[in-house]
Structure 1
């Protein structure tokens, strides 16, 4: 076994999920993530955890959905499993990144809504999502397999404590702020000029550990839950959403909601997402990428949204970790991230003060007013 796989498992179990003896753990394993699953199982055994393994296959899911009439049950058996778990580890890495491409949007929406309770219960565990480098993901990223392996491990096997200290400076800025404005003006694309309120919100220093309210490995972002969004934003980073290619998305917000939208590619899928429910047209997240171990776009949101020199906004569900105790944020059956590259001709201001310009933060060397 590649020693980097063992290191990945160690970071996941010890740093990210903070597994302790006696913890009840669900490990959801995608196709072709077997090797990582073996390494994770070994670490969980050493930790004295109790393990149930499930098979999270997109090809199996496609077969199920294509055969179903769309009248899904409440999923009480899945809910019972998750409600009795202390931690939920998702090991991604499928054989076909577009395995569910021919499943209708209506069927996908119905399935998502039917599983909302189980999804909420999973959020209440110490859940962590990671990915094992597979050939299909390398192909999607346009990289040789060995090249993609090196890319993944550069992003995952970081000095997370040091990165957490740097990201804490951005968290402090957001926690003390009331309004964020993002502006980008490039001749080759529609303008971005969008403002949103963050007053009363708590930003998360997403340092790839549940100890930081962070649930992705790799991570490397600071995120919060905005509201009262106004203006327009252009997302120039292509992405695959629900196995559909979506490219060059332009959203216009009024009164906190998306009132107009367009996409050069995948507009029908975008429309389906925005029509899922009332909360799907409101923002659930503002995320600021700060992981400079991720140095290119790979069409995988787990990596792309964490990349330095990017900002992402998600329509749909807001995370409770950003909200005051007892307050309910934006509710939706979806949470879909879209990314804009802010490496040039752009700035971000908090309460009128520029805190990032052309990808460089105010606390970094080389920042220019």
Structure 2
């Protein structure tokens, strides 16, 4: 076993999920995440945690959804009971086909996503963390050799997370103190309110309200969105490629949209429910261990010199006590490159220009 697999497992268990003796842990592993699952199980055993391992497969999900009539149980008692008794939920991505569910009818996907709202809430009540094991399917999706992709993935995952958390805290403080954010770049001029919101310093640990490994972003829950934004970073959404999407917001809602490719899947998302037409997240990437696009949102949205916006659900960690943010059955991120001809303003003050924060020195350029 590559020693970095063991390092990945240790970071996940200790830094990210903060697992202790006696914790009830659900470990959901993809078919090609076997090595990482073995390493995580060993770490859990050494710490005296209680392990229940489950299997997660895009092919299994496809088979189930294509055979179903779409009338899904909205609160399956057996799954709810499992999550209610769990302290930690670890998701180890590692599928064999990144487009396994691409031919599932849109209305079935919508119904399934909506029916699982309460189950997602139960999972969010645990110390949940999602990560991926570098696989050949992910390497292929990123247009990289497997060995090259593995180096890339571990550069992003095995970071000095404490140091990065300290740097990201500077941006968090600016967002917490601000009331309005404006993003200006080619084909983009968007303004959102962040008044009263709390930004999350997403440093790959539940103690920071951060649930992805790798992470490396600062995000908040925007409101009162106005303007136009273009998403020029290629991505796959629900198994379908999306290229050069553009959205117009008025009174906080998407009123117009287009895309060179994948316009139908965007429309499908927007029709999920009322909250799907509003933003739930504004995120600013700060992980410079991620130096190229890979068509995987877990990595791409964290990359330095990018900003992402999510349609749908807002995270409670960004909201004042007692306030409900945007509610939706979906949370779909889309990314814009801000490495050139761009600026990010907080209350009229430029805090990032052409991908560099005002406290940064211009360093080496990332790989495209």
Say yes or no: TM over 0.5: yes
2:25 alignment counterpart: 25
1:293 alignment counterpart: 289
* SS of structure 2 residue aligned to 1:268: helix
1:4 alignment counterpart: 4
Q: Say yes or no: does 1:201 pair with 2:197.
A: yes
C-alpha displacement at 1:365, in angstroms? 2.4
Q: Indicate which of 305, 312, 330 corresponds to 2:308.
A: 312
Residue by residue over 1:186-231, the C-alpha shift from the partner in whole angstroms, topping out at 9 and shown as x without a partner, is: xxxxx10000000000000000000111000000000000000000
1:213 alignment counterpart: 209
CA distance in structure 2 between the partners assigned to 1:211 and 1:118 by the alignment? 22
* SS of structure 1 residue aligned to 2:291: coil
Superposition RMSD on alpha carbons, in Å?
A: 0.8
CA distance in structure 1 between the partners assigned to 2:299 and 2:202 by the alignment? 13
1:35 alignment counterpart: 35
CA distance in structure 2 between the partners assigned to 1:54 and 1:221 by the alignment? 29
* SS of structure 2 residue aligned to 1:110: helix
2:162 alignment counterpart: 161
Q: Indicate which of 220, 240, 244 corresponds to 1:248.
A: 244
CA distance in structure 2 between the partners assigned to 1:350 and 1:342 by the alignment? 16
1:171 alignment counterpart: 172
* SS of structure 2 residue aligned to 1:232: strand
CA distance in structure 1 between the partners assigned to 2:273 and 2:77 by the alignment? 22
1:98 alignment counterpart: 99
Q: Indicate which of 330, 336, 343 corresponds to 1:334.
A: 330
CA distance in structure 2 between the partners assigned to 1:267 and 1:300 by the alignment? 19
CA distance in structure 1 between the partners assigned to 2:361 and 2:69 by the alignment? 58
CA distance in structure 1 between the partners assigned to 2:171 and 2:358 by the alignment? 9
Q: Say yes or no: does 1:231 pair with 2:227.
A: yes
CA distance in structure 2 between the partners assigned to 1:65 and 1:113 by the alignment? 14
User: TM (normalized to structure 1)?
Assistant: 0.97
CA distance in structure 2 between the partners assigned to 1:168 and 1:87 by the alignment? 26
* Corresponding pairs, count: 362
Residues 31-180 of structure 1 aligned to structure 2 (within 5 Å): 31-74=31-74, 75-180=76-181
User: TM (normalized to structure 2)?
Assistant: 0.98
1:188 alignment counterpart: none
C-alpha displacement at 1:366, in angstroms? 4.4
Gaps in structure 1 of 5+ consecutive residues: 186-190
Residue by residue over 1:299-333, the C-alpha shift from the partner in whole angstroms, topping out at 9 and shown as x without a partner, is: 00000000000000000000000001111100000
Residue by residue over 1:161-197, the C-alpha shift from the partner in whole angstroms, topping out at 9 and shown as x without a partner, is: 0000000000000000000000002xxxxx1000000
2:259 alignment counterpart: 263
CA distance in structure 2 between the partners assigned to 1:204 and 1:251 by the alignment? 25
Structure 1 residue ranges (4+ consecutive) displaced by more than 2 angstroms after TM superposition: none
CA distance in structure 1 between the partners assigned to 2:255 and 2:343 by the alignment? 24
* SS of structure 1 residue aligned to 2:245: strand
